[in-house]
């Protein structure tokens, strides 16, 4: 009997498939006030957090983030499945909205 925590390699047929999603972060600041360095830091945080979860769990449902793009215009937010953006005095600034491009990094599953 194999221990349930032991990792087993499993072929993955969608290694090169690209996945996209939109991430909404509650924001206490107008995204227009963020510097390029601030945006770069937030993108890195998103990628490292997500990729860390993926590598710790080795779950094929997790995808490795390759790019995170800050969306600054409401018209650019994908309409499918989006949360309604709250309006404040300067437009839609209640959320930082990132469009994430990611790929399946390979499949390893926990044995059962």
Ranges of each domain in the chain: 7-110
Output the pTM of the full model.
Answer: 0.47
**Beta-strand pair 95-103/108-110:** unpaired
Dist CA 27 CA 37 (whole Å): 17
Q: What pLDDT was estimated at residue 112?
A: 36
pLDDT number for residue 42: 79
Q: Which residue has the higher pLDDT, 56 or 6?
A: 56
Residue 9 pLDDT greater than 60, yes or no: no
- Bridge-based pairing of strands 64-71 and 95-103 is antiparallel
Helix (H) or strand (E) holding 22: strand 18-26
pLDDT, one tens digit per residue, over 78-90 is: 554 444 444 444 4
Q: What is the C-alpha to C-alpha distance for residues 46 and 83, in angstroms, rounded to an integer?
A: 19
């Amino acid at each position: 009997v194999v221990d349930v925590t032991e990792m087993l390699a499993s072929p993955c047929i969608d290694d090169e498939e690209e996945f996209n999603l939109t991430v909404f972060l509650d924001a206490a600041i107008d995204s227009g006030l963020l510097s390029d360095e601030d945006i770069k830091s937030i993108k890195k945080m998103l990628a490292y957090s997500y990729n860390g979860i993926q590598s710790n769990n080795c779950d094929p449902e997790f995808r490795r983030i390759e790019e995170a793009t800050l969306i600054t215009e409401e018209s650019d937010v994908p309409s499918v499945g989006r949360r309604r953006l709250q309006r404040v005095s300067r437009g839609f600034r209640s959320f930082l909205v990132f469009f994430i491009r990611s790929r399946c990094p390979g499949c390893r599953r926990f044995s059962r």
